[in-house]
Structure 1
Amino acid sequence: MGWQMNERNLVWNDDLKARLLKMTVKKELGLDDAEAVERLTQLAKLLPGLLPRLPAIKARIVVTMAQDTSKVAQKLMEIKAVFPEADAANVFLQWPIYFLATDAHAMEANVDRLQSILPDVNIQRLVGEHPQVLDVDSFEQAVKEAKHIMPSMNVSHMMRMNPTMIFGFQRGASLIAYDEVPTQ
């Protein structure tokens, strides 16, 4: 009697997820085993924090990154140019879909908008720690909601002291997306 695999007996550990991810990259991009491993290795070299985060990143995002690793390298250079104080790989890994879909000019425009909303905040540091604020429309909505609920609140002071607090003021469609590209 042979062993049968079923969902009840399957243990979803990081090793299994990594093997499934390699199979997905291979299948989706039409690569052989060696090419799939090479693409994932290139990504791991470009993005040192990638391996521990792989189990949490959606497979389609990894496939998109593996499709053109030179594009990932280019995006890292753009991030470093716009945010010289930030760890570009870490910033990219916090919201890869946004950075793959956004050019340096759009990032710079969003930085300018953020700086006008929060003139007393180090936007470089804020984005380095919370790149999701680059979804400025959603961020502005959260700031408006915060001011509505707490009219005496100094948003700049709050963002310097506890930047994650603003995310608690998001509502419905204004939730800052982490996986999807914001609509332009």
Structure 2
Amino acid sequence: MNERNLVWNNDLKLRLLKASIAEKAGLPLEEVDERLIEVVSLLPGLLPRLPNIKANTVAQLCADTRALAHRLLQVKSIFPGADAAQIFIQHPVYMLKQDMGIIRAAADRLRDLIPDVDVDKLVEEHPQLLDVDGFELALRHAKETLPSLDVGHMMRYNPSMIFGFQRGAQLIPYDEVPTSTQ
């Protein structure tokens, strides 16, 4: 194969991803394929994103598909009105590693902070809000900046507006919510 004629497309990225996972996990390529099929059946929206996800993240998703299914059910029990797979896809490392008690506590805090908002759907669309401390600071800043702002209305109809009220070190993370230290 001539490198100059190499076409960097999603098929090539996927093949390289599978080879990387097989190497890291010490698994035959066929087993990686089987596990990826299981992962994609659990997280259907993942397939088009696979070529652009870090190999380490996909390897973690493939490591134990039963544990992945169990965690997915736990997320669904915390956010029954949400597409748990969508939450997982947006923040896979956080959803795999974070203690479910912390996620449940974050959901409860969000429900207390914005009682008139469908928190399940909100977290499905913006799982970075699970960083409730950052969200709470942004809410306070929003209320200070615009005292007449109806936060409930804003969170129902334009929830991404809250990100405009973030400050410095308190920015709500967009890539992955850091896990707590235990």
TM-score normalized by structure 2? 0.89
- CA shift, 1:138, in A, is 1.7
How far apart, in 2, do the equivalents of 1:181 and 1:35 lie? Answer: 30
Indicate the SS of the match to 2:149. Answer: coil
Rate the CA distance shift 1:143–1:102 in 2: closer, same or farther, 3 A: same
Indicate the SS of the match to 1:77. Answer: helix
Q: CA RMSD in A?
A: 1.9
Indicate the SS of the match to 1:84. Answer: coil
Counterpart residue type for residue 158 of structure 1: M
Conservation of the 8 A alpha-carbon contact between 2:130 and 2:177 = no
- CA shift, 1:92, in A, is 1.1
Conservation of the 8 A alpha-carbon contact between 1:91 and 1:129 = yes
What residue is the counterpart of 1:5 in the other structure? 3
Counterpart residue type for residue 125 of structure 2: E
What residue is the counterpart of 1:99 in the other structure? 95
How far apart, in 1, do the equivalents of 2:73 and 2:159 lie? Answer: 26
How far apart, in 1, do the equivalents of 2:175 and 2:110 lie? Answer: 21
Counterpart residue type for residue 71 of structure 1: A
- CA shift, 1:47, in A, is 1.0
What residue is the counterpart of 1:140 in the other structure? 136
Indicate the SS of the match to 1:49. Answer: helix
Counterpart residue type for residue 33 of structure 1: L
State percent identity of aligned pairs: 54
Determine if the alignment matches structure 1 residue 84 to structure 2 residue 85. Answer: no
Indicate the SS of the match to 2:3. Answer: coil
Conservation of the 8 A alpha-carbon contact between 1:97 and 1:179 = no
How far apart, in 2, do the equivalents of 1:56 and 1:168 lie? Answer: 27
Name structure 2 gaps, 5 residues minimum: none
- CA shift, 1:181, in A, is 4.2
Deviations 1:10-35 (A, max 9, x none): 43311111111101110110111111
Counterpart residue type for residue 38 of structure 1: E
Counterpart residue type for residue 5 of structure 1: E
